[in-house]
Chain A
């Protein structure tokens, strides 16, 4: 058994590709475009996923909301002590926050109230604290805004301040103390940070209420237990654990990516037909050539091998080309156009960079969905050609 790769045959195949250039170049372009689309979408969704993962890891272990008629309503601060008394709970932090709809830009801002160096924000905002003086922020009743919002306000001619419309219709003018650009751009680009008192004023909330509680837990494996106890003490609450969020986000993204892939698979099968058709169209020259090859001693197997090399070279070169192109497109150009599919709320969530994230698995998926399918499409046409009668050459 000879296992050495037959370089002569390989050479011959590569030459054949060039010799039938016009036919192959068409296939090459269409196939490259198809792989490019697929890999770009997968790269974007991976990128967003890894971005979300970082954000989700910074999330509190447990979030407790109060429900009335199925909707979340404010949580009385008086409940805080009972929750603190549960074994394993390290801290309970009331949060005051909300979405402010800025009609001029048609966008929602996330307005977050902070008091001091509260635990739950430590990860997210320590960097800000280095740069900005929170005491000053509190004294001034000013705010810090994400870079996306900064851009949006500038576009609407706000310089150094912003007027919030309170529920009673009066205006609350808040000074901008600084602009931040956080690591996890996706989540914090549209965030406004200001003292809790100011947030209550803007949203018209009572001083003895918070929007929800977040709970820090000593031992993560106790989370399900603690969550159960909370619902026992306060049956009208909804308890969301970090794990729940992670899974639902994961699913949402797999689902979106999956939907796209389903479409992709359909277009792949269309492409399958195109290759099939192209590969089936054998010119009389090609027929003669096969006849010559068989007459001088090539077996059906040899010709099939030659055709396989051709298909492999074309599809693999397309694959590599498309992969490089889409890396450039996604990570260097930040995927103009395409990313809007994934971040449908592009004007709500201002611009952010797609972080580089590439794993073996994505590579494998793109490979399996393209190269073997291309080769499959050439099986029957190649066999047809290879099994033609050789006595053609005698005429």
Chain B
């Protein structure tokens, strides 16, 4: 369960100025729920996601995930929190281009020094699911956009996260690949994962597996 309580987020710009990205937001996401955050660019969607993932801290208010006050965690504990709970799908894939597909997927697991047999099985499973078996050893920068997106999804899922966060996941994909992505997303809904998508792509607007759509405007929930 994810809870944002009276969250305001300001960004300092320059020496004195500040941008108010979020204004006194309250948000509740249930376990297993799929939520779409929509709104124009600059409305504060990414900021909400980064607060949930504890990449950032609210200026006022607090963020609570599974009873844990993640907005109070010190930097290294936020990392541990993400490692255990969050799977990230970014707008720009955010893969490490000079590593192979397999190496990219392993990255989130490296710090926990996994058992190598278990890891092999997990990778086989993921790469099969995303029909990437033949691309395992290929360097990511030599993969097509769709393949890169699938590698990015595989990476987000490798740690079995309870929360999946996708920031503009279709922004760099053409229509066909976008629909493909939506199919994958549909399969991820299993009642255990909360999925939060931030997007202004109309493709998402009338999908029946999305439980709730939230409109954001100028840092406020409408």
Whether chain A touches chain B in the assembled complex (some CB pair under 8 Å) = yes
The stretch of B25-33, B62-70, B80-88, B189-197 that contacts the partner chain: B80-88
A296:B82 contact, CB within 8 angstroms: yes
CA A221 to CA B209, docked complex, whole Å = 98
How many contacts between A and B, using CB within 8 angstroms? 86
Among B133-180, those with CB < 8 Å from A are: 155, 159, 167
A8:B49 contact, CB within 8 angstroms: no
Q: Does A298 contact B (CB under 8 A)?
A: yes
Specify which of A9, A12, A19, A391 is in contact with B50 (CB 8 Å cutoff): A391
A295:B53 contact, CB within 8 angstroms: yes
Q: Does A277 contact B (CB under 8 A)?
A: no
Name the distance in Å between A323's Cβ and chain B's nearest Cβ.
31
Q: Does A292 contact B (CB under 8 A)?
A: yes
Q: Does A245 contact B (CB under 8 A)?
A: no
Interface size class of A (residues with CB under 8 A): 20 to 34
B75:A300 contact, CB within 8 angstroms: yes
B76:A12 contact, CB within 8 angstroms: no
Name the distance in Å between B126's Cβ and chain A's nearest Cβ.
15
A9:B110 contact, CB within 8 angstroms: yes
A292:B96 contact, CB within 8 angstroms: yes
CA A9 to CA B84, docked complex, whole Å = 18
Name the distance in Å between B102's Cβ and chain A's nearest Cβ.
12
Among A342-395, those with CB < 8 Å from B are: 387, 389-391, 393-395
Specify which of B50, B90, B113, B159 is in contact with A297 (CB 8 Å cutoff): B159
Name the distance in Å between B210's Cβ and chain A's nearest Cβ.
22
**Which B residues touch A297, using CB under 8 A?**
79-80, 82-84, 86, 108, 111, 159
Among A280-295, those with CB < 8 Å from B are: 288-289, 291-295
Q: Does B43 contact A (CB under 8 A)?
A: no
CA A295 to CA B75, docked complex, whole Å = 11
Q: C-beta contact mask, B98-119 vs A, less than 8 Å → 1, else 0? A: 1100010011111101100000
**Which A residues touch B99, using CB under 8 A?**
15, 19
Q: Does B213 contact A (CB under 8 A)?
A: no
**Which B residues touch A2, using CB under 8 A?**
113
Name the distance in Å between B188's Cβ and chain A's nearest Cβ.
17
Q: Does B59 contact A (CB under 8 A)?
A: no
Among B22-52, those with CB < 8 Å from A are: 46, 49-50
A299:B106 contact, CB within 8 angstroms: no
**Which B residues touch A296, using CB under 8 A?**
82-83, 88, 107-108, 155
Q: Does B56 contact A (CB under 8 A)?
A: yes
- Most chain A beta-carbon neighbours within 10 Å: one of B79, B90, B109: B79
**Which B residues touch A206, using CB under 8 A?**
none
Q: A288-B94, A295-B82, A394-B46 are in contact. Are A4 and B103 (CB under 8 A)?
A: no
Q: Does B214 contact A (CB under 8 A)?
A: no
B55:A295 contact, CB within 8 angstroms: yes
Q: Does A140 contact B (CB under 8 A)?
A: no
A-B contact pairs, 16 of them (CB 8 A): A7-B113, A15-B103, A292-B96, A293-B107, A295-B53, A295-B90, A295-B94, A297-B82, A298-B79, A298-B83, A298-B110, A298-B111, A299-B76, A299-B80, A302-B111, A387-B75
B residues near A (Cβ < 8 Å) are 46, 49-50, 53, 55-56, 75-76, 79-80, 82-84, 86, 88, 90, 94-96, 98-99, 103, 106-111, 113-114, 155, 159, 167
Starting from the known contacts A297-B83, A302-B79, 11 additional A-B residue pairs (CB-CB under 8 Å) come to A6-B110, A9-B113, A294-B55, A295-B88, A298-B110, A300-B76, A300-B79, A389-B56, A391-B50, A394-B90, A395-B46
